[in-house]
Structure 1
Amino acid sequence: MGTEPRRDAESLRGSRRSTSRRPPRRAAVGRRSFTSTLKALDDLAASGAKVSVRITDLDRGNSVLAGDDFVTLPVAGLGVVPLLVEVAAGFEEGTLDPLEIFDREGLEPVTVGGVWQHLKAPALPLSDLAVLTAATGDALAANALLSRVGLPAVRARIEQLGLARSALLDRFRDVRGPDDAPHFALGSARELSEVFGALVNSKVVSPGVSAQVAEWLSFNQDLSLVASATGLDPFSHENDEHGMLFINKTGRDSGIRVEAGVLAGPRAGVSYALIVCFDDLSIMHRMRAHEAFRTLGMELMEYVF
C-alpha cells in the first residue's frame, strides 16, 4: 500500500464546517502517515484479500492515502449511490414524482437486507423508498427504485458522472444463478471517494441533486465499519454537536466489505473509500477485515480533529 499525489481540486465549501478555530494546517501534517491502517491493510493483502483504498484531502485536493485505488472490485450495496443520484435527478427534473406510490406486489421477494419486507404497508412513495435504500440498505426498496427508473438509465447516469470503473450490473437477489450477473455492482475506491467528495461540494448533477442524495445518505444507520470510530448515534447523527460533517454508505456481501464517505472536522475534511474482498472462512477472517476498517476510522478521526 502507498500514497499517490493527485492534482489540485476545489476545496470543501467553507459553509460546510467552521474554520474560525482551526489550528495551523501544519499541525495536521505529522498525522498523514496512516501507519496503522497501512499495516492492517498490508496484513489483509498478505493473507490473500483484495484491498483497494483511497483517502483525499478535500481542502488540498491531494491524495492522502492510495493503494490499488484504480482496481475495479465488487462493492455490494454501495452500488445504490448512482441509483439514488438518478432518482434525485428525476425528482428535480420532474420526470419522477416523489409522492408516486410504488406497490411491491410485482417485485420478486428479496430478503438479503432492509425493513420494507417486514412492514405491513405493501406500497410506499418513491421518496420513502429512497430513504429506506440509503438508511437501511433496503434491498427490496432499491429493487423498486431500479424497476421504476430502469437499469439503462442508471448506467447512463454512471457514464454521465464519468465513472469509467463503476457499474450497476443487476438488481438485488437472494441467490445468483449461472445466468445472473455475478454481483450487484462494481466500483473502484478512487471513483467512490471522488463521488462522495463531489456530493458535499455540490458537483453531482446539480447542487439540488447533490444536497438531496447527501441528505438521504446522512440517514445511514450502518456505522459499524469505518464510521464506528466517530462515536455517532447510528439512529440520529445528522447534526453532531461537535461540528462533525459525516455521510457514508456501506456495502456487504459474502466476503465483501465496502465503505465510502466524507468526514470533516475543525482541522480537515476527507473523502474516503475502502474495499476489502476476502475469504470469509471463519469469524476471525471476518473480524480481521472489520478491524482494518475500524483502524482506518480511528486514523481518519485523528486527521480531521
Structure 2
Amino acid sequence: MPRRAAIGRRSFTSTLKALDDLATSGAQVSVRITDLDRGTTVLAGDDFLTLPVAGLGVVPLLIEVATAFEAGTLDPLEIVDRSAVAPVAVSGVWQHLKAPALPLIDLAVLTAATGDALAANVLLERVGLPAVRARIEQLGMERSALLDQFRDQRGPDDAPHFALASSRELSEMFAALVNSKAVSPGVSAQVAEWLSLNHDLSLVASSTGLDPFSHENDEHGLLFINKTGRDSGIRAEAGVLAGPRAGVSYAMIVCFDDLSILHRMRAHDAFRALGVELMEYVH
C-alpha cells in the first residue's frame, strides 16, 4: 500500500488529551511529530519551548564523537580509564563491570544502549564540552544545549541540568540522522546504529512490541531508533519510527512534579498513548 493511503484517518486525540490533563495538573509539556515522507508537521504542541531533557542530551555528544572518529582526530580503539573522571552512579553498567578501561567506541555503545553516565562523562572529557556545543550550533539547534557532565548530586555551583532542548529541534535532529544529513552520511549511519541498540523501550516504544535487547532487524519491518531522558520530574524521548505506510520523527518532553508514583505514571501514560497512536500512523 502507498505510505500515504491511510494518513487522513489517523489522529492523536488520546495523546492530546493526556497532555492536556498533564498541563492542567501543572506539568510543562512539549511535543513534535514530523512525517518523514512529506516533511510536514503531524502534531506540534509548544514544540519551541526549551526544557530539561536529562540523558537525551547525549545524542549531540555521540554525533561529535562519531564526527571525530570519521575525521581521524579520535581513535575509536583508544583505551581510556574510567578514573579519568569522577565516579558517577546515576545510570549505566560500566560502574558494575570489572574492566577499568575500555576503547572509546565501546563507551559510545554503552552511552547509547544503556544511558551509561560514566561512559558519557569520559567521552565528554575526551572531546570537550566546547566541541559539543559547537556541534550543536552547527546542527542548527538554537534552543538546545549541553550544559554539564552527569553528576550524582548538583550543587549550587553546578549547572542545574545536564542538557536542555526543544522537542522541535530533537525531532529535526533524529530526522537528520535517518536521512543521512547529520554532519555526513557516515556520521549519521554510525550514530543511528548506536541508538538502535538502546534498551529503554519503556515509554513511547513500549507500544511497538519490540524486544528491548534486540530490535535492530525487526521481522515485521519496523525501523526504530530512540533515546530517552530521565531525571526527577523529567521524562523525555525522541526517535524515529517507520512502518509499511509512513515514517515519523518524534520528540516529547514532560516536566512534572514527581510527588508520587501516580504523578509519575500519569506522565508515563502520556508517552504510551503517543506510542500507540504513532504505531497506528505508520501502519
SS of the equivalent of 1:87 reads helix
SS of the equivalent of 2:6 reads helix
1:278 match: 256
Q: Map residues 1-305 of structure 1 onto 2, 5 A cutoff.
A: 22-23=1-2, 25-31=4-10, 33-305=11-283
SS of the equivalent of 1:36 reads helix
Offset from partner CA, 1:168-215 (integer Å, 9 cap, x none): 000000000000000000000000000000100000000000000000
Q: Extract structure 1 runs of 4+ deviating beyond 4 A.
A: none
- Give the CA deviation at 1:71: 0.3
Offset from partner CA, 1:56-100 (integer Å, 9 cap, x none): 000011100000000000000000000000000000000000000
RMSD over equivalenced CA pairs, Å? 0.7
SS of the equivalent of 1:97 reads coil
Q: Distance in 2 between matches of 1:244 and 1:105?
A: 40
- Segments of structure 1 that go 5 or more residues without pairing to the other structure are 1-21
- Give the CA deviation at 1:40: 0.4
TM-score by length of 2: 0.99
- Give the CA deviation at 1:106: 2.5
Offset from partner CA, 1:11-66 (integer Å, 9 cap, x none): xxxxxxxxxxx2462422110x2001000000000000000000000001110000
Q: Distance in 2 between matches of 1:178 and 1:114?
A: 25
- Segments of structure 2 that go 5 or more residues without pairing to the other structure are none
Percent identity of the aligned residues?
84
Q: Distance in 2 between matches of 1:278 and 1:90?
A: 37
Q: How many residues align?
A: 283
TM-score by length of 1: 0.92
- Give the CA deviation at 1:105: 1.3
Q: Distance in 2 between matches of 1:26 and 1:99?
A: 47
Q: Distance in 1 between matches of 2:20 and 2:39?
A: 25
